[in-house]
Structure 1
Amino acid sequence: MVLNAFNMLTWSVRRCILSPRSAPMKSMRGSRGLCSKAPNDGLDRVRTLLQLCADRYFISPGESNAELFRRGWSCIYGPLGLELRRNLLQQWWHSVTRSRARVFGVNTPSSSLERGAGGVRVVESEHFQQILDQSELSREQLIQELNRLLLSSPSVRTSLLQGALEQFVPSLEMVSKKLPFGLAETGLCFQPSGVSGCFVEVTQTSLVWFCSPRTSSQWLDHWVRHRLKWWRKFALSPSDFSSIEVPENELEETESRGVKILYNFPWGLESLETLWCRGDTDLLQTYKGVRTKWQSRGGQKSVPNVVSVSGNIDRGMLAFLSNSLQELRGEDGKKKLQQRKVLKLHPVLAPVKVALDIGKGATVELRQVCEGLLQEFLEAKISAWPGYLETQPTSLQHLNAKYDEMGVLFTVLISENTLESGLLQVRNRDTTIRETMHISEIKNFLSKYISAADKFS
Structure 2
Amino acid sequence: MENNEKKLQDLTALCKNRGFIFPSSEIYGGLRSAYDYGPLGVELKRNIMNEWWNEMVYMREDVVGLDASIIMHPQVWKSSGHLAGFSDPLVDCKICKERFRADKAPTAEEGEDIVISFPDKGKAKAALEYIKNTFDIELERKGKSLHGAKADHRGYKCPCCGASGQFLSEERQFNLMFRSFLGPVDPMEEIAQKIEQGKLQDLSGRELREEIQKSVDPSTVYLRPETAQAMFVQFQNIQRTMSMKVPFGIAQIGKSFRNEITTRYFIFRSCEFEQMEMEFFCKPDTAKEWLDYWKDKRLGWWQKYANTPENFKLRQHEESELAHYADNCYDIEYNFPWGWDELEGVASRTDYDLKKHESGSGKKLQYRDPETNEAYHPYVIEPAAGATRGVLAFLNDALCVDEIPDSKGVPQKRTVLRLHPRLAPYKVAILPLLRKEGMPEKAREVAKMFFESGINARYDEVNAIGKRYRRHDEIGTPYCLTIDGETLENNTVTIRDRDTTKQERISIEEAVQIVRDKLK
Q: Same fold by TM-score, threshold 0.5 exceeded? A: yes
Residue identity in the other structure for 1:109: S
Give ranges in structure 1 of 5+ residues lacking alignment. 1-38, 452-457
Give how far 1:335 is off. 5.2
1:228 and 1:261 in contact (8 A); partners too: yes
Give how far 1:74 is off. 6.5
> Which secondary structure does the structure 2 equivalent of 1:368 belong to?
helix
Give how far 1:61 is off. 5.7
Structure 1 equivalent of residue 17 of structure 2: 55
Greater Cα offset, 339-348 or 284-293 = 284-293
> Which secondary structure does the structure 2 equivalent of 1:192 belong to?
coil
Structure 2 equivalent of residue 162 of structure 1: 229
Deviations 1:58-111 (A, max 9, x none): 11268989xx99x9x762011111011111111101111145321111121110
1:55 and 1:61 in contact (8 A); partners too: no
Distance verdict in 2 for CA 1:101–1:190, change over 3 Å? same
Q: How far, CA to CA, are the matches of 2:302 and 2:263 in structure 1? A: 31
How does the TM-score come out when normalised to structure 2? 0.72
Q: How far, CA to CA, are the matches of 1:52 and 1:157 in structure 2? A: 32
> Which secondary structure does the structure 1 equivalent of 2:443 belong to?
helix
Structure 2 equivalent of residue 447 of structure 1: 516
Q: How far, CA to CA, are the matches of 1:237 and 1:51 in structure 2? A: 22
Q: How far, CA to CA, are the matches of 1:438 and 1:196 in structure 2? A: 51
Deviations 1:154-199 (A, max 9, x none): 3221111110001111233246573111100010011232317997
Q: Where do residues 180-191 of structure 1 align in structure 2 (5 Å cutoff)?
A: 180-191=247-258
> Which secondary structure does the structure 2 equivalent of 1:242 belong to?
strand
Structure 2 equivalent of residue 171 of structure 1: 238
1:322 aligns with 2:396: yes
Identity of aligned residues (%): 29
Structure 2 equivalent of residue 31 of structure 1: none
Structure 2 equivalent of residue 381 of structure 1: 454
Q: 1:371 aligns with which of 433, 444, 452?
A: 444
Q: Where do residues 126-165 of structure 1 align in structure 2 (5 Å cutoff)?
A: 128=188, 131-132=191-192, 134-135=195-196, 136=198, 137=200, 138=203, 139=205, 140-141=207-208, 143-146=210-213, 148-165=215-232
Structure 1 equivalent of residue 179 of structure 2: 121
Greater Cα offset, 325-334 or 264-273 = 325-334
Residue identity in the other structure for 1:104: V
> Which secondary structure does the structure 2 equivalent of 1:284 belong to?
helix
Give how far 1:216 is off. 0.5
Q: 2:298 aligns with which of 227, 230, 234?
A: 227
Q: 1:256 aligns with which of 327, 331, 335?
A: 327
Q: Where do residues 10-409 of structure 1 align in structure 2 (5 Å cutoff)?
A: 39-60=1-22, 75-115=35-75, 116=77, 118=83, 120-123=178-181, 128=188, 131-132=191-192, 134-135=195-196, 136=198, 137=200, 138=203, 139=205, 140-141=207-208, 143-146=210-213, 148-174=215-241, 176=243, 178-195=245-262, 200-288=271-359, 293-297=366-370, 298-334=372-408, 336-360=410-434, 362=436, 365-388=438-461, 390=462, 394-409=463-478
1:177 and 1:296 in contact (8 A); partners too: no
1:246 and 1:257 in contact (8 A); partners too: yes
> Which secondary structure does the structure 2 equivalent of 1:408 belong to?
coil
Aligned residues: 404
Q: How far, CA to CA, are the matches of 1:292 and 1:407 in structure 2? A: 47
Higher helix share: 1
1:132 and 1:142 in contact (8 A); partners too: no
1:232 and 1:238 in contact (8 A); partners too: yes
Q: How far, CA to CA, are the matches of 2:473 and 2:270 in structure 1? A: 36
1:362 and 1:416 in contact (8 A); partners too: no
How does the TM-score come out when normalised to structure 1? 0.81
2:65 and 2:251 in contact (8 A); partners too: yes
Distance verdict in 2 for CA 1:370–1:173, change over 3 Å? same
Give how far 1:416 is off. 2.7
Give ranges in structure 2 of 5+ residues lacking alignment. 84-176
Residue identity in the other structure for 2:460: G
Q: How far, CA to CA, are the matches of 2:291 and 2:381 in structure 1? A: 6
Distance verdict in 2 for CA 1:199–1:448, change over 3 Å? closer
Q: How far, CA to CA, are the matches of 1:206 and 1:74 in structure 2? A: 22
Give how far 1:57 is off. 1.2
Q: How far, CA to CA, are the matches of 2:408 and 2:427 in structure 1? A: 29
Give how far 1:321 is off. 0.7
Structure 2 equivalent of residue 22 of structure 1: none
Distance verdict in 2 for CA 1:221–1:106, change over 3 Å? same
> Which secondary structure does the structure 2 equivalent of 1:347 belong to?
coil
Residue identity in the other structure for 2:6: D
1:354 and 1:409 in contact (8 A); partners too: yes
1:177 and 1:294 in contact (8 A); partners too: no
CA RMSD in angstroms comes to 2.8
Structure 2 equivalent of residue 420 of structure 1: 489
Residue identity in the other structure for 2:445: G
Q: How far, CA to CA, are the matches of 1:422 and 1:296 in structure 2? A: 63
1:128 and 1:146 in contact (8 A); partners too: no
Give how far 1:439 is off. 1.9
Greater Cα offset, 180-189 or 141-150 = 141-150
> Which secondary structure does the structure 1 equivalent of 2:60 belong to?
coil
> Which secondary structure does the structure 2 equivalent of 1:285 belong to?
helix
Q: How far, CA to CA, are the matches of 1:380 and 1:150 in structure 2? A: 53
Structure 2 equivalent of residue 3 of structure 1: none
Where relative contact order (Cα < 8 A, 6+ residues apart) is larger, the structure is 1
Greater Cα offset, 40-49 or 165-174 = 165-174
Give how far 1:142 is off. 5.1
Deviations 1:190-220 (A, max 9, x none): 1232317997111001100111111111101
